Structure 1
Amino acid sequence: MSISKKTCPVPFDQQPLNEYFALKASWFFSLCTLPLNKYLTKVFTVFVLIFLVSTFLTLYIIANYNIWQIIILNISIATFIVLLIFMRLYLAWSYVVKRLINATIFYEESGWYDGQLWIKSPEILTQDRLVGLYEVMPFLFRAKYGLIVSIILLSLEKIVYLLLLS
């Protein structure tokens, strides 16, 4: 659903709607677009895989710790990596939402030195804002809530780890 070159001078890959479709088609960023049960299953699967890998590495490197400390440490490592994943998802979706909702678009024609500013027509602005508000914002909220939950869990795991040390 590209806008014609007469209407929009922005290159195809830099048009906000096309950036949205590219993000939605990406295997990594499409995680937020899945139905809730598949989304939670994938997040939990990633968490468990990271936990297992970090457990094997920790058991290989550290030998003189309590088993509960090692488990809490590995849960914290897995939660931190999931937090980084949610942070990347949030940044990408928020960038697309900002470009869809804004009335002006900054773009580069051929390189970093020749940036231009294009003002959207009312029809294109309305279309982009509708897509941004009703299609992309739920994905952004899902990534944001995942980020918040990860931060809370990481804080709780830190408290439990410190309680185990004492």
Structure 2
Amino acid sequence: MFAPKNVCPVPFDQQPLNEYLALKKSCFFAWSVLSLNKYVNTIFSIFILSLIFTIPIVSILFYHKMSLFHVLFYSILSVNVLFILLFIRLYLGWSYIVKRLLSATVFYEESGWYDGQIWIKTVDILTKDRLIGLYEINPYIHRIKYSLLLCIFLFILELIILYLI
């Protein structure tokens, strides 16, 4: 799936298609490309596990000031902040890869920061990269973006409820 060396002078690990495949296989990013049911189940599982870990921490930090309701509410609020950071990281990682796939040029470094080069993709490689970027990665980016917006909305709603209590 990678471009041969005589066609592409970019090092193997810096080729956009290989960066995409490596990101897709990584533990942190792999669950974001699952089917929609598995994606929602994974988010729910992460939420429950995070809540289980944050409830004792919040109760220890504020043990004399809060009721059980407040402990649970602050735990949910902290898990929501964790999810916002998680989705921002996912969005930035995938958007970097899709930017490199859709671009007609690739910036790469041969041996260090001081010798950067720019390679202009051939028509075949550019077409293949753009198809992958538009039809495989963009739906994941949109899913992550909507998940992030939902988390931000819920966070604002939680802050309003906290202010009213």
Task: Output the CA distance in 2 between the equivalents of 1:49 and 1:125.
Answer: 42
Q: CA RMSD in A?
A: 0.9
TM-score (norm 1): 0.95
Task: Output the CA distance in 1 between the equivalents of 2:49 and 2:164.
Answer: 26
Q: CA deviation at 1:28?
A: 1.1
Task: Output the CA distance in 2 between the equivalents of 1:8 and 1:140.
Answer: 27
Q: CA deviation at 1:129?
A: 0.3
For residue 32 of structure 1, what is the aligned residue in structure 2?
A: 32
For residue 144 of structure 2, what is the aligned residue in structure 1?
A: 143
For residue 3 of structure 2, what is the aligned residue in structure 1?
A: 3
Provide structure 2 residue ranges, at least 5 long, that are not aligned to the other structure: none
Provide structure 1 residue ranges, at least 5 long, that are not aligned to the other structure: none
Task: Output the CA distance in 2 between the equivalents of 1:90 and 1:29.
Answer: 10
C-alpha contact 1:69 1:161 (8 A) present in aligned 2: no
TM-score (norm 2): 0.96
The alignment of Structure 1 onto Structure 2 pairs a total of residues equal to 164
Give the match's secondary structure for 1:28. Answer: helix
Task: Output the CA distance in 2 between the equivalents of 1:113 and 1:5.
Answer: 22
Task: Output the CA distance in 2 between the equivalents of 1:72 and 1:84.
Answer: 19
Task: Output the CA distance in 2 between the equivalents of 1:56 and 1:70.
Answer: 9
For residue 97 of structure 2, what is the aligned residue in structure 1?
A: 96
For residue 21 of structure 1, what is the aligned residue in structure 2?
A: 21
Task: Output the CA distance in 1 between the equivalents of 2:161 and 2:69.
Answer: 10
C-alpha contact 1:94 1:140 (8 A) present in aligned 2: yes
Give the match's secondary structure for 1:43. Answer: helix
For residue 126 of structure 2, what is the aligned residue in structure 1?
A: 125
Task: Output the CA distance in 2 between the equivalents of 1:61 and 1:127.
Answer: 53
Task: Output the CA distance in 2 between the equivalents of 1:61 and 1:130.
Answer: 50
Task: Output the CA distance in 2 between the equivalents of 1:109 and 1:16.
Answer: 15
Give the match's secondary structure for 2:52. Answer: helix
Give the match's secondary structure for 1:110. Answer: coil
Range 46-55 or range 101-110, more displaced: 46-55
For residue 53 of structure 1, what is the aligned residue in structure 2?
A: 53
Question: Percent same amino acid at aligned positions?
Answer: 49
- Give every structure 1 segment of 4 or more consecutive aligned residues whose post-TM-superposition deviation is greater than 3 Å: none
Task: Output the CA distance in 2 between the equivalents of 1:120 and 1:78.
Answer: 43
